[in-house]
Structures are given as structure tokens and as C-alpha cells.
Chains A and B, each alone.
Chain A
Amino acid sequence: MAYLDHAATTPMHPEAIKAMTAQLELVGNASSLHASGRRTRRVVEEARETIADALGARPSEVVFTSGGTEADNLAIKGLYWARRAASGADRVLVGAVEHHAVLDPAHWLHERQGASVEMLEVDEHGRVQPGTLRAAIERDPGRVALVCVMWANNEVGTVQPVRELAAVAAEHGIPFHSDAVQAVGQLPVSFAESGVASMAVSGHKVGGPMGVGALLLARGVDPVPVIHGGGQERDVRSGTLDAPAAAGFAAALRVAVGDREENTARLRALREELVARVRAAVPDVVLNGHPDDHLPGIAHFTFPGCEGDALLMLLDAKGVECSTGSACSAGVAQPSHVLLAMGADATRARGSLRFSLGHTSTRDDLDRLAEVIAPAVDRARRAGLT
């Protein structure tokens, strides 16, 4: 079997499993005043410090959530509500290739809360140019509640010029949110240096457990809570803290960020080889995304004349696991909004597959892929585009 879907989720690091399981055996609520509570609180706060340290943030800037999606929801809805209440700002500027965890809350704000949601166009590689953002803001700067542009794209792997974009927003005092779920552990990510107001991260994308993530919130950035309750996490995100998950997340992040340079050098080499071998097997394949500024482990292709779904099924049957990277509603594949935004037509957008490498990937995985890709593409071409 070749697991080439690390951007969906990646195996847990042994350190994370150990840290998490150690906590699973113990009792204690981090909000309790007694000894067990204090012990648990210490675990959570140490996890928070580890995460802050790994991401160039202060511990007080780390708000634990149930994952990247919740972090994005809290940032987008919470900051919109706060800005709207404070200044009446109602414009939300969103990158066109954002993950649905960003797009859907933004659309919800438009449909249910009267927000004016405007898409920031991307170039053919999927990048939001700072000039695009500047022009959008300047149409009516006082009304912009927030800007959301992801750190790196989950489908095609293109890295956004986040620092430059955040600087443009900062000129107008507009909070800038970035979904960094795919970037952390793959790229150098420093919350403080980036200039973003908030940033979403996920545990399971860095080799930690599923069901935990964090929203990094700069000082003075105070979203209205989405989840109300016991007032945990600066009153921004109520709910009993998940100490085992926090411990596992922190341990994984320490490994992922600590090993990042070595790991990504290896991934870049593997990815280069993957691209070369797929090209050798399928000469007319098209590689999508930015040619240089891309995540080290993502290779996203269009296979002309194929339906991505059919190809995925054929590869799955041969033990190669990958993703179409596109969203499913009712299980029916829709053409990827990312590729459409990059200027692809619907046919090209539907004929695409993402292979993503991670810390457990080896050359054996590439051998397996190279063995089966050409016949699978042949088959899928015969089935055509329905």
C-alpha cells in the first residue's frame, strides 16, 4: 500500500501517542482547584507553551479548539461580529482558493448576517497578489471587517505571500486571519513575524491527534465567542480543556517543527522524484500550483481526459491512496473551486488528483505509484469524462 494522502491526515508521531496516552490514564479537570486539577492544568499549560514556542507566539495567544475548522469559524465569525459591533464594518475579504472551513463561514455570514463577502482573485498559480488585496480594501477601507487568506493551499500546495498581505491589511488597521493548517511543520511559520492577527492550526495535520487544534490570537484581538459556557480559554472558547489531546498535539508539533528542515528537504526530493516518475508514465500530465513556492510534499496534477474520481478509484484498487482534493456534497464530486479560481475549465478541474507526502513517506510509495499510474490513466481515459 502507498499512502499518498498526508495532506488529509498524517500518521501520529510516536512521541504524540506517548504523551497523549499517558494523560488518558489520569483524572483531572484543568479548571478544578484541587491537586488533580492543578496537575492537569499544568499539562495543558505546558502544551500551550510548547505550541506557542513552536509557532513563534506567546502562550497567552494560543486558544485551544477542536481543530482547524473550529479555529477558522471562531476567527471569521468572531472577528466579524466584534468589528461590526465596534465600527459597523461589514466587508469580509476572502481568498478565492480558501478551504471550505473558511469559505463556508464567510458565506454563512453573507447569507444569514448580512455581511458583504468579496472574493480575492488569484493568479494562475493560486496566489493572491498584494495589489489585489490593496485594491479591494481601498474600494471602501472603513467597511472592511477582516481579511482571510490561507498560508498555503491544501489542494495545489501554493504558498501565499502572507506577510506582504498582512502588511497591506495592517496599513488600514484591519485584522488578518490565516488558515495555516497545511503550512505548519512544512514551512517556517512564525506567528509574531507574520503580522497576522489570527491563525488556525490543526493537530492531526502535524502528526498529533484528531479533534484538537488551536486559534492563535494576537494580543488585543478579541473575537466574539462562538461557543459559550464555562469561560475557558480567555472566555473566547468555553469547554473543558482536552488535556490528553493538548499534550499529544504539543508533542507532535515539537517534533514536526523541530524536524522540519530535515524532513522537508527529504520531502522535496521525494516530491521531485514523484513528479518526474508521473511525467515519465503519463507524458501529457499537467502539474498544478506555483512552480517554486509550494508546500514540500504536495504534487497536484491534471490528467487530461480522465475523471479524477475514476482515477482515484482505480488507484485505490491497486493500493495507492490519494485525493481529488475537491469538496464533496452528497458524495458527488464537484469541480475544485481552487482550480476554477486559478482559471482552469470544469473539465480540467474534474480531472485532477493530489498526491501528498509526509513524514512516513518513502521511495517504496513512489515505486508503487509509478507501477500502477500509467495503466490506471489508460483505463480512466477509456471510461472518459461522463
Chain B
Amino acid sequence: MSGGVDSAVAAARAAEAGHDVTGVHLALSANPQSYRTGARGCCTLEDSRDARRAADVIGIPFYVWDMAERFHRDVVEDFVSEYAAGRTPNPCLRCNEKIKFEAVLDRALALGFDAVVTGHHARLSDGVLRRSADAGKDQSYVLGVLTREQLAHAMFPLGDSTKAQVREEAAARGLAVAAKPDSHDVCFIADGDTRGFLAERLGAEPGPIVDESGAVVGSHAGSYGFTIGQRKGLHIDRPTADGRPRYVLSIEPVSNTVTVGPRSSLAVRSIVAERPVWNGPLPAPHAPVACDVQLRAHGEVYPCRAQLSGDLLNIELDTPATGVAAGQAAVLYHSDTVLGSATITSST
């Protein structure tokens, strides 16, 4: 229970369904104030109190579990090292994979619980993950990395509801968090300044910004501050010949080079991804299977053919996609059902 409205209503629904429910708030920082302050985030003292208050109203026991060390190691340090390696991680996905459905789930099972319930907007029917009834709030993408085993011990009671319904229900249940704003951005970056957060940890590493011909067109203070498809914040003085905007095409951490070019050069058709997880209703696709793929949170969905080959997942898009960044997850869907996922390593 983060202290937000979703997990509060999820807990209430699970309790009402007759389960023996215990509320758990995760302390993700050894020093809560050093993370986000105010009502935007999910790990302040105020959030902990909100979660406790919700649990009291629902009438369930409530405990704070200290996951600060695990979170720092598996999410925060991973986030920093992924950027340092020129990739673009998704920390929420990592947190689901390593914290909520690994550290928390393992501990819960050992203590005699059967499942971890969260307020994620996604549906789970017979162990198969599906998109939320609220397309705008759907979080199946950040859950797509979970294995069948993890999903077998998961419950998402909000999947059939829209966010508006969840808020209404919270108000009707007398939960004070009914109108609390949604959390945004990365919860462990207090001011939302990802580049500043990375710069503080990785230091300044000036390097060149080049165009596709290799000509230097600008400079940067650290290649980790960029994401594939990024257009803003490049600080290049010289305009392009045709006046069209430049986008980040690739990040090469070894030579510390950021390559920029026109939007058309961003388009990719082939994606290679590693660490495949096949958690859906279909058998693992050793021959190409036609499905859809989502390449970032709240991103577009592209029809594609996907095939497993060894430890890699090869994805051929039917229509080109832009802004495909290594480190992001490629989550495969069949209609609204999640088939599996893998972490993008390269695209052409």
C-alpha cells in the first residue's frame, strides 16, 4: 500500500472478497525525506501515514516492510548503471520484477501468505495477464516481465475498473486518499530531474554529438543524459540544412558519442530483445507468431511477427516504429492479452 488511492481500493476489495488481508507499506529509502517530498510521490512519511490510515479504515492489519536496501540495489543502482551503459531503463517495471513480485512475494510466501495484491490497473484471468478496462491507465506493460510463477501469486483487483470508478469507490468507502493526485515520474527522483540525478551519480563526462555522417554538431556533458528519440535538450547551435529537427538516434557509451539525425532515421523494423519471459496463454514461439508489440510505457502498439531464437526474441514490425530504446521492454500482446516480454538490446 503506497499511500495512494489504487492500492487502498485494491486492499479493500481483496478484504471484502473474503481474503485474509494484511496491508504492507514498503519503506524504499532508509531516509524517507531524502526522496520525494510532498504529495506527488510514493515513499514519503506522509504516504506511509496515508497508507496506514487507509488500512485502519478498511480494518486490516498494517505493517511497514523495510525494502530500502533491496530497492537501492535492484532498482536505483540498476537505473543508474543502465543509463551509464547507454540504455533507457524502466524502473517501475524493474520494481515490479525485483521488489514487489520477488522480494516482497518471497517474504510473504515464507510468512504464510498466498499472494501479493497490488493496485495495478491490469487484469489477471486464470494466471494470464490482460490490459485494464481503463485503456488510459493500463499498466499491463510494466507487469509484462513477470513470470507465470510470479503471476500465479498475484492479484490485481482493479483490472475491471476505470480510474474514475476507483476514485469514486474510495470516496464511498471513506478513504481519505480518494482525491490524492496520481504519482508521476520516477519515485526516487525527488525533483523529477532525471538528468541531474544521473549527473550527480555518474559525474560529468563531456563528449561529442555527431550526425549520421560522423560530423560533430555539438557536445554533451554525459551520454547517459539522453534517450533514443529525444528531441529536446540537445543544445545544438547549428540548425540542420533542411531546418528539420534532430533526434537522438543512438547512444554509444564506450566512445561517449551521441548520434543525432532526422526523424526518418529513427524508424526501425527489426528489434532484438534479451531475457525473454513467456508468461501468456500461447506456447513459446519457436516459429514466427503474429501479434502486437508495445515498446514503451503508454506507447503505441505495432503489429509484428515475433520468434524466439535461443535466448533472444526477434521481432519484425509490420510498420516501422520510432523511438525504440535499448533497455525498454518489448511486451507482446494478442489483442488485450499479454503473451510475453523481453528487454530490447538493439533495433534496425
Q: Which residues of A contact B (CB under 8 A)?
A: 309-310, 313-314, 316-317, 328, 330-333, 379-380, 382-384, 386
Minimum CB–CB distance from A333 to chain B (whole Å) comes to 7
CB of B48 within 8 Å of the partner chain: yes
A220 to B247, CA, bound (A): 79
Q: Residue B17 at the A interface, CB < 8 A?
A: no
Interchain CB contact under 8 A, B61 and A317: yes
Q: Is the interface of B mostly helix, strand, loop or mixed?
A: mixed
A213, B52: Cα distance in complex, Å: 28
Q: A383 contacts B107, CB within 8 Å?
A: yes
> What residues of B have a CB within 8 angstroms of the CB of A330 in the complex?
27, 32, 45, 48, 64
B110–A383 CB distance below 8 A: yes
Is B130 interfacial (CB-CB < 8 Å)? no
Q: How far is the CB of A266 from chain B (nearest CB, A)?
A: 31
**Beta-carbon contact of B111 and A383 below 8 Å:** yes
| A331 and B22 contacting across the interface, CB-CB below 8 Å | no
Task: Report the 10 A-B pairs with minimum CB-CB distance, sorted nearest first.
Answer: A331-B64, A383-B110, A382-B110, A332-B27, A332-B66, A330-B32, A383-B111, A331-B48, A383-B107, A330-B45
Question: For chains A and B in complex, what number of residue pairs have CB atoms within 8 angstroms?
Answer: 48
Contact A316 B66 (CB under 8 A): no
Cα separation A332 to B71 with both chains bound (whole Å):
14
Per the bound structure, the CA–CA distance linking A96 and B65 in Å amounts to: 27
Check A310 against B111 for contact (C-beta < 8 Å): yes
Chain A residues with Cβ below 8 Å from B30 are 332
Contact, CB under 8 Å: A379 / B111: yes
Q: Bound complex: CA of A333 vs CA of B27, how far in Å?
A: 10
Q: Which of A314, A317, A380, A386 contacts B103 (CB under 8 A)? A: A386
A-B contact pairs, 28 of them (CB 8 A): A309-B63, A309-B65, A310-B107, A310-B111, A313-B22, A313-B63, A314-B111, A316-B61, A317-B20, A317-B22, A330-B27, A330-B45, A330-B48, A331-B48, A331-B64, A332-B64, A333-B66, A380-B111, A382-B110, A382-B111, A383-B110, A384-B110, A386-B65, A386-B66, A386-B67, A386-B70, A386-B103, A386-B107
Report A-chain residues with C-beta under 8 Å of the C-beta of B52.
331
- Closest approach, in angstroms, between the C-beta of A8 and any C-beta of chain B? 16
Q: How far is the CA of A328 from the CA of B61 in the complex (A)?
A: 17
| Contact present for A314 and B63 (CB under 8 Å) | no
Give B contacts to A, CB under 8 Å. Answer: 20, 22, 25, 27, 30, 32, 45, 48, 52, 61, 63-68, 70, 103, 107, 110-112
Does A313 contact B111, Cβ atoms closer than 8 Å? Answer: yes
A310 to B65, CA, bound (A): 9
B73 to chain A, nearest CB (A): 12
8 further interface pairs, Cβ-Cβ under 8 Å (given A313-B63, A330-B32, A330-B64): A316-B61, A330-B48, A331-B48, A331-B64, A332-B30, A379-B112, A384-B110, A386-B103
Chain A residue nearest in CB terms to B69: A386
With CB as the reference atom, state the residue of chain A lying closest to B32: A330
Question: Among A314, A332, A384, which residue has the most Cβ atoms of chain B within 10 A?
Answer: A332
Q: Closest residue to B67 on the A side, CB-wise?
A: A386
Contact A331 B25 (CB under 8 A): yes
CA distance A332 to B48 in the complex (A): 10
Most buried by B among A328, A330, A382: A330
Which B residues are in CB contact (< 8 Å) with A384?
110
- What are the residues of chain B within 8 A of A310 when measuring CB–CB? 107, 111
Q: Once the chains are docked, how many angstroms separate the CA of A298 from the CA of B112?
A: 29
Which of A316, A317, A379, A386 has its CB near the most chain B CB atoms (within 10 A)? A386
Residues of chain A with a CB closer than 8 A to B64's CB: 328, 330-333
Contact partners of A380 in chain B: CB under 8 A: 111
Q: Residue on A with the closest CB to B112?
A: A379
Query: Could you say which residues of chain A place their CB within 8 Å of the CB of B66?
Result: 332-333, 386
Q: Which residues of the partner chain B approach A316 to less than 8 Å between Cβ atoms?
A: 61
What residue of chain A has the Cβ atom nearest to residue B27's Cβ?
A332
Distance A383 CA – B103 CA, assembled complex (angstroms): 10
What is the bound-complex CA distance between A383 and B45, given in angstroms? 26
Shortest B53–chain A CB gap in Å is 12
Cβ contacts under 8 Å, A386 to chain B: 65-67, 70, 103, 107
Note all chain B residues with C-beta closer than 8 A to A379: 110-112
Closest residue to A312 on the B side, CB-wise? B63
CB distance from B85 to the nearest CB of A (A): 28
Which B residues touch A383, using CB under 8 A? 107, 110-111
- Which residues on the A side are within 8 Å of B110 (C-beta)? 379, 382-384
- Report the minimal beta-carbon distance from A312 to chain B, rounded to whole angstroms: 8
Q: CB-CB < 8 A to B65: which residues of A?
A: 309, 386
Bound complex: CA A121 to CA B64 (Å): 31
